[in-house]
Chain A
Amino acid sequence: MLEAGKYYPRDTFPLPEIDSNSQMYWSGGLELDTTSKNGIMRGKAVGGGTLAYQAVMCRFDEYAFGPWRDLSGIQYFTLEEMEPWYEKAESLLHMAPVDERYRNECSRIFVEGHAKYGYQAKPELRAQRDCHWEEGNDCIVCLGGCPIDSKQSMPHTVLKPALKQGLHLIPEFEAKRVEVKPDGVAVHGEYRQGERMSFFGRRLVLAGAPLGNTKLLLKSGFKAKLPALGNSFYIHTQWFHFGMYDREINGHKGPFQVYGSHDPKLRQQGFKLENTFPPPVGLAWLFPGYGREHHATMRKFRNLSCVETSIRSFHPGTLRLDKHENLIINCGLTDDEERRTKVAEELAHNILRSFGAKQVVASRFSICPHHFGGLNMGVNGAKSCVDPEFRLHGFPNIYCADTSAFPNAPGMNPVLTILALSIKASQQILKGMA
């Protein structure tokens, strides 16, 4: 396993936010799209984004799988056929909803606000255990890595048994080029930002997510044989909405992201509301403005409640390289996404106002920890990159099963499905090797 980021033992996570943002994500924290409205967050560490986000678990529904079948022509994207793979994935993690006793005022506003407007909010199934909220722990800290191994992140769950079975792992190696050889695949890159190295294997499994995988293959000249490479790029835009109250809300205390909207009416409209709260640097950056007024808001952050809206993009964007081989991210968002963003914003603001918020404000930018495509799956090699057996079309020794292979944005938290598809792909690879 070759990983561009470092390995952080649980007691050495770079906890000041300035360090976790810059060290644990590519490009110092964010990669902006061509409009500079959307900032893509891409994990760069052993464990990647699972160090921050591996928490909300859900199986995809027909609203996700239906379009996947239509776009890809792959018929196993059904609830029934994916069931055994989800079961295997779930067996690797400890998942449970948060005990209602520990929900904070921000969560109460979220749940009761949904009910007030005729929508359902339900507890999220979270991949964590023994968070010890009774000892006063605040899970917001674990956005920079969980120091007590409660969060079921990849290193703690999947990687540890693999290492015990002999997996070789080389952190701080950045892959720069992929080269197909007669009997396998070579990966050329840099170790610790200096030493050039190459590795050879009979098979290569790409796991760099949409931006990483696409950039690597574009730089390696795969576009000529994979015409769909870099097409079909999708995101979830995530906007933060803040309500300022006369009383303390303490949205940063206790468990994190306890509830989500689980409502068919919202699902049909292509958006979701989430019960989150940003840490101080994130809050200062997302809350519009500056100067003394901004200081005053920060000093009253305990009186803020937060609702996050997550908008599913339906229109494909593109990933391309400029002449300097920098990645150009076009999210392809249209007036339709803009309209649904406004509808979601109105609901979020109504929820916040209905419990007494004196002022309601939206972030001016979206952050996008969920991104999909670039190497979309499909049966047609002219319109897709990855075949139903998880191999690149025309390259039988190169596999991919992460979010870059997703046919579009599912509008749901993707982690459990990434794991399920990876297990399915691993069986396919083993079958091929036999």
Chain B
Amino acid sequence: MASKYFTLAQLQVINRMGDILAPGDDVLPRFSESGLVEHIDRMVAYLPSSDIASLRLLTNVLRFMPNFVIRVVFKLTSLDRYFPGAIAANLRKLDIGSRGIIFALYYSFLNDPAGYGQRIKDGIGWDGAIRTKPEEPDEMPSLIQKANPLNPLQN
């Protein structure tokens, strides 16, 4: 496990969060078992730096908490309507952010050597696809290349 944005300890916290959100069942793997946390950089690289800092802070805080406390935190996120404005907004942000990261890693059916992405895809039975191959050649890439005066290939 290696990440440009998170330490090993922080990744382990994300795995613990993942095991609560996606614990696995008789068909689907547990989040930490899948090893899909290794792909986190391909998503985090596009987040604003303030969001990355918040995620690091969260993992640093949760690192010292037992799992039942993390469960309580997730439970609280679903009770946002009982809290005043700013607290409720932060609970929702935590819900959106944590579920967003874990479910994006889990349900994107990523290629991994152990085949967990494919196992999850097969497990839910996803079969959405475009089966047609375009017949006409695509002239756009060369038009885009020619249109960019900063493109070194043009000079």
Q: Which residues of A contact B (CB under 8 A)?
A: 7, 9-11, 16-19, 21-23, 27-30, 32, 34-37, 39, 46, 132, 135-138, 140-142, 146-149, 155-156, 160, 163-164, 167-171, 191, 252-253, 279-281, 283-285, 288-292, 294-296, 298-299, 301-302, 324, 326, 364-365
Question: Is the pair A147, B21 in contact by a Cβ cutoff of 8 Å?
Answer: no
Residue with the greatest number of chain B CB neighbours at <10 A, chosen from A155, A156, A292? A292
Whether B23 and A295, one on each chain, are in contact in the complex, defined by CB atoms closer than 8 angstroms, is yes
Contact B108 A148 (CB under 8 A): no
Chain A residues, CB < 8 A from B107: 17, 280-281, 283-284, 298
Interface 9-residue window, one of B3-11, B59-67, B139-147: B139-147
* A28-B51, A280-B124 known; A10+B147 contact, CB < 8 A: no
> With A35-B92, A138-B129, A281-B103 in contact, do A326 and B50 touch (Cβ < 8 Å)?
yes
Contact A135 B148 (CB under 8 A): no
Instruction: Judge whether B95 and A364 touch: CB under 8 Å.
Output: yes
Contact B48 A27 (CB under 8 A): yes
**Chain B residues near A (Cβ < 8 Å):** 20-25, 27-28, 39, 42-48, 50-51, 74, 78, 85, 88-90, 92-93, 95-96, 99-100, 103-110, 123-134, 136, 138-141, 143-144, 146-150
B-chain residues with CB within 8 Å of residue A23 when the two chains form the complex: 46
What are the 9 closest A-B residue pairs judged by CB atoms, nearest first?
A: A36-B92, A284-B103, A18-B108, A22-B46, A28-B47, A290-B21, A138-B128, A163-B143, A280-B107
Q: How long is the Cα–Cα vector from A140 to B125 in the complex, in angstroms? A: 15
A426 to B153, CA, bound (A): 31
Contact between A132 and B132 (Cβ–Cβ < 8 Å)?
yes
| A/B interface sample: 19 pairs, CB < 8 A | A18-B43, A22-B45, A22-B104, A27-B46, A36-B88, A36-B90, A140-B128, A141-B128, A160-B140, A163-B140, A163-B146, A252-B128, A280-B107, A284-B107, A292-B25, A295-B22, A295-B24, A299-B124, A365-B96
Q: Are B148 and A36 in contact (CB under 8 A)?
A: no
Whether B134 and A155, one on each chain, are in contact in the complex, defined by CB atoms closer than 8 angstroms, is no
* Cα–Cα, bound, A256→B51 (Å): 33
User: How far in angstroms is the closest Cβ of chain A from B118?
Assistant: 12
Determine whether the beta carbon of B42 is less than 8 Å from that of A22. yes
Could you tell me if B42 and A290 are in contact, using CB atoms closer than 8 angstroms? no
Contacts known (A19-B42, A28-B47, A28-B48); A148 close to B132, Cβ less than 8 A: yes
A29 to B130, CA, bound (A): 23
Cβ-defined contact, A10 with B148, below 8 A: no
Q: Are B23 and A28 in touch, CB under 8 angstroms?
A: no
**Contact A32–B93 (Cβ < 8 Å):** yes
Q: Chain B: which residue is nearest A299 at the CB level?
A: B124
Nearest CB in chain B: distance from A280 CB, A: 4
Cβ–Cβ contact B23 & A163, under 8 A? no
| B-chain residues with CB within 8 Å of residue A19 when the two chains form the complex | 42-43, 108
Chain B's closest residue to A39 (CB) is: B96
* Residues on A with beta carbons closer than 8 Å to the beta carbon of B123: 299
Chain A residues closer than 8 Å to B124, beta-carbon distance: 280, 298-299, 301
Question: Which residue of chain B lies nearest to A149 when distances are taken between CB atoms in the complex?
Answer: B134
B132: contacting residue among A17, A32, A135, A291, CB under 8 A: A135
